[in-house]
Chains A and B, each alone.
Chain A
């Protein structure tokens, strides 16, 4: 125990005399400090707050369409008040139901779980944990946020236009989403959707290139790659995935814009719609395009995208589990290798979303092989997390709770992927509620839990040393954890009955119309979980403004560099020199010492054992 204290002391000594003033003395204007800020910490806050805004919009939409699924015959006057003509008489119009579903998916996947999760924490943690003063290009970093903002703004506008927002699913498959005749959301709403996505791609490319460059070039002295915290490894491969796959989505979206507005037929062939064959300007039937091409382009991003969402969550979960179990992460290099394996395999599995699209069965079988193989590194990670808490000394702060919840969700949702990944089994399961259960548990919930892990854990670093209220954190966790299982677990059963997803109501089919009560149950659970998120929101806002401040630099007794910065780090992060690094990030409990910060040399921690350690190393 004595050594712990000396460790803390030394660290404080190192910084104390710089601590009181930031080294930037010039006055920053409101605009350059809060709006067009180039400080990665401020940009991270911007991503987070924008992400939280969108998460409430996205989840609200799901609550609205859940009302329809639970009580298809009921009318809700409040809906007409909120939505006007889209819910005339208090009942959602079918095309607006689909618009809500589409917007829910788009918002949650891209704005909340990509920008809100990876954008926030890559920005916050990369410079702080690798020991850099800022990103490689603070300016591009700022642009990255503002393109995201613009993307969100365009999407927001699309909610209010008279023909309604895009309503053809977040996957935007043509021809439905190419032909304005096919659906009201395929009119101007879809154009805006595509523009919004294009802006989003620009944002994530600017961000991703910056993250990669920063991690590769700006690590502090001694911070070798194998001493990086697992968070950084995760952000690194997330950025690699994004940089290599988002451009493909962009090209897919641009071709779709061409088909919509310039009369090309990349995705269109042999179509008869609106009472006539679809022809080009010369009156010839459009032929030769392939809707399946779009699916390839979309899922070449779409699958890596799901790992873009989950890798940062995995990184933060690993980090928090090790820190709060006071144990090294189990199998650090296995963890790094499994992220690498996931990254590589993530590019080789996209067609598992297309097993019944008319894909060549032989090609399908190759994708089965890679898809099931990706379960192996995923399993390795789970075993390592469990190994990490084994014989630990776990402190149940809210971030730990969410991290443990994450592991459970990832197991539950990952295992159903094994069913879906086997093409033959996917025939009955594809596009049913089984898939809805799978991806919400493994990506939606797990990704969301990752976000909460990050917010609860790094809140003091983000908001000037203020802490969140733990009691509210506990209530938030337990309601969310139990509630989300209650929402999504039963959907497997609906899938076993073959109930298709994206159905406005089930009463047209005897086969599917057997879950009336269960649908009510699910909606009630969804309402409870939705309102529980306000506990988080209140806690977040109140704590950011008035929360009690941490009294020491390093409240979790953590090893990593972000806790060596002042409680309120200025632009540039460290007032003095950036500390060099002497060791890996997870040396908890080594030689009986509770924690061994990365920036302390051996002789500062074990002065008496210095010789022993040296001989050990040699």
Chain B
């Protein structure tokens, strides 16, 4: 409390000093007239030049400084395409960034009013306008073309052999369901949700009988996976940063995303030299007060390890049966509309 008070007093004091100096300074300026104006133009022009120089150095330095913290090379096939796209977009935009800024601040510096020169009357040039309309337009079209090639591949139909996993978002956790032996997730409805049946699976649909719910997202390396995404309360977004996967989870409207993981967790641990590394699943759409806490671990592994894990998973139906032997027959009625 005391430090806050002290801090604020110091700030107030600084403001008062700035105010007093500025007032005196303006008074002097109004007496001296043009001379002060020219002097101020020189100072500000110089500051812009310094801003350009140190800004550019700072931008380059900080980029290299923070680059090691960026996401590593994507662990999915399409992630690599996106990385290339990002690179080409850099190629298109960084030169524009540099050239326009150099022009802006060099002109600012050079064409300050200093009493020695006057402005050059030049109201424009249609030829220049044409050039700087056409060039960006062509570059944009190329970027759109490049983007669309990846976009259609990414959003196109999933390969038939893709493993089906369903992710359901809910305040504030994800529930992961696997299609099981038939690789199909059966029907469900929010009307059927109860203590034994957290997702509201419809037990009349046989497709559900082999489905199991997992508390980590296990994936087989190099095996395409189709994630069916849904939510049962508010919007969420299924987000796997290392795989460059993001898709909203929308109540009432099933969405999906398919991708192919290419690096196992183990490989990543070696690559990053970090034995504790884990892939993570997060939520990327504000969903309420614990939005920042919807984490699940993602494990990518070789086929053999995956199968070992798979063997340990127990279908939700069997679990339900086991507990409903005590309290028979719960939740088998009602219309179903989602799968």
A residues lining the B interface (CB < 8 Å):
76-78, 81, 93-95, 98, 167-169, 173-176, 179, 182-184, 268-273, 277, 285, 287-292, 325-334, 356-358, 361, 364-365, 368-369, 372-373, 375-376, 379-380, 382-387, 389-396, 401, 404, 407-408, 411-412, 415, 418-419, 422-425, 427-428, 430-432, 469-472, 474-475, 478, 481-482, 485, 489-490, 493, 496-498, 500, 502-506, 508-512, 514-515, 518, 531, 534-535, 538-539, 542, 548, 586, 588-592, 594
Cβ of A549 to closest chain B Cβ, rounded Å: 11
Asked if B117 is at the interface (CB within 8 A of a chain A CB), the reply is yes
User: Does B143 have its Cβ within 8 Å of any Cβ on chain A?
Assistant: yes
What residues of chain A lie closer than 8 Å to B190, measured between beta carbons?
Answer: 270-272, 277, 285
The distance in angstroms between the C-alpha atoms of A357 and B256, with both chains bound, is 10
Interface residue B269 (Cβ < 8 Å from any Cβ of A): no
A542-B26 Cα distance, complex, nearest whole Å:
14
Chain A residue with the shortest CB-CB distance to B109? A394
* Docked pose: A174 CA to B45 CA in angstroms: 50
How far apart are A412's CB and chain B's nearest CB, in angstroms?
7
Chain B residues within an 8 Å CB radius of A508: 292-293, 295
Q: Which 5 A-B pairs have the closest CB atoms?
A: A269-B252, A498-B241, A361-B155, A331-B124, A471-B22
Contacts of A515 in B (CB 8 A): 69
- With A493-B66, A509-B282, A511-B241 known as contacts, the answer to whether A498 contacts B71 (CB < 8 A) is yes
Are B18 and A391 within 8 A (Cβ)?
no
Interface 9-mer from B95-103, B179-187, B204-212, B308-316: B95-103
Asked if B273 CB lies within 8 Å of chain A CBs, one says: no
Which of A93, A503, A510, A542 is close to B291, meaning CB atoms less than 8 Å apart?
Answer: A503
Q: List 22 A-B contacts (CB under 8 A).
A: A98-B286, A287-B337, A291-B253, A331-B129, A361-B151, A365-B152, A375-B140, A380-B129, A391-B119, A393-B117, A394-B111, A396-B41, A419-B93, A422-B151, A423-B151, A424-B81, A431-B284, A469-B26, A504-B292, A506-B292, A535-B15, A538-B19
Which among B101, B120, B137, B246 is the interface contact of A408 at CB below 8 angstroms? B101
- Identify the B interface with A (CB < 8 A): 1, 4, 11, 15, 18-19, 21-23, 25-26, 29-30, 37, 40-41, 44-45, 47-48, 51, 55, 59, 62-63, 66, 69-71, 79, 81-82, 85-86, 89, 92-93, 96-97, 100-101, 103-105, 107-108, 111-113, 117-125, 128-129, 132-133, 136-137, 140-141, 143-144, 146-148, 150-152, 154-156, 170-171, 189-191, 193, 200, 232-235, 237, 239, 241-242, 244-248, 250-253, 255, 276-278, 280, 282-293, 295, 337-338
Apart from A179-B234, A368-B151, 8 more pairs, CB < 8 Å? A81-B1, A271-B252, A361-B151, A375-B136, A408-B105, A411-B101, A498-B241, A502-B291
Question: For A334, what are the chain B residues with a Cβ–Cβ distance below 8 Å?
Answer: 124, 129
User: In whole angstroms, how far apart are the Cα atoms of A497 and B276 in the complex?
Assistant: 18
Are the C-beta atoms of A511 and B123 separated by less than 8 Å?
no
Q: Is the CB of B129 within 8 A of A392?
A: no
Contact between B237 and A431 (Cβ–Cβ < 8 Å)?
yes
B86 contacts A548, C-beta separation under 8 Å: no
How far is A97 from B194 in the complex, measured between Cα atoms in Å? 32
Q: Which of A332, A404, A503 contacts B292 (CB 8 A)?
A: A503
**B196, chain A: closest CB distance, angstroms:** 15
Docked pose: A76 CA to B2 CA in angstroms: 11
Best-surrounded residue of A174, A272, A331, A382 (most CB of chain B within 10 A): A272
A78 to B287, CA, bound (A): 29
Contact indicator A531/B11 (Cβ below 8 Å): yes
Instruction: Give every chain B residue within 8 A of A373 (Cβ-Cβ).
Output: 137, 140
The answer to whether A364 and B151 touch (CB under 8 A), given A183-B289, A270-B251, A389-B108, is yes
Contact status B125-A331, CB under 8 Å: yes
Task: Give chain B residues whose Cβ lies under 8 Å from the Cβ of A469.
Answer: 22-23, 26
Check B26 against A411 for contact (C-beta < 8 Å): no
> Which residue of B has the minimal Cβ distance to A412?
B97
Contact present for A387 and B18 (CB under 8 Å)? no
CA of A490 to CA of B1, assembled, Å: 31
Residues of the B chain whose Cβ atoms lie less than 8 Å from the Cβ of A512: 282
Shortest A494–chain B CB gap in Å is 9
A474 to B237, CA, bound (A): 45
Contacts of A94 in B (CB 8 A): 289-290, 292
Which chain B residues lie closer than 8 Å to A78 at the CB level? 1, 4
Rounded to whole angstroms, the CA-CA distance of A386 and B124 in the bound complex is: 11
B108 near A422 (CB under 8 angstroms)? Answer: no
User: Are A427 and B82 within 8 A (Cβ)?
Assistant: yes
Question: CA–CA, A334 to B244, complex, Å?
Answer: 40
Residues of A within 8 A of B96 (CB): 379, 411, 415
Q: Is the CB of A482 within 8 A of B11?
A: no
Q: Do A183 and B288 contact each other (CB < 8 Å), given the known contacts A327-B120, A365-B151, A415-B93?
A: yes
In the complex, which of the residues B112, B234, B239, B282 contacts A396, with contact meaning CB atoms closer than 8 Å?
A: B112
Q: Are A490 and B66 in contact (CB under 8 A)?
A: yes
**In the assembled complex, how far is the CB of residue A588 from the closest CB belonging to chain B, in whole angstroms?**
7
Task: Tell whether A291 pairs with B252 under 8 Å between CB atoms, given A394-B108, A422-B89, A475-B18.
Answer: yes
Contact A272 B193 (CB under 8 A): yes
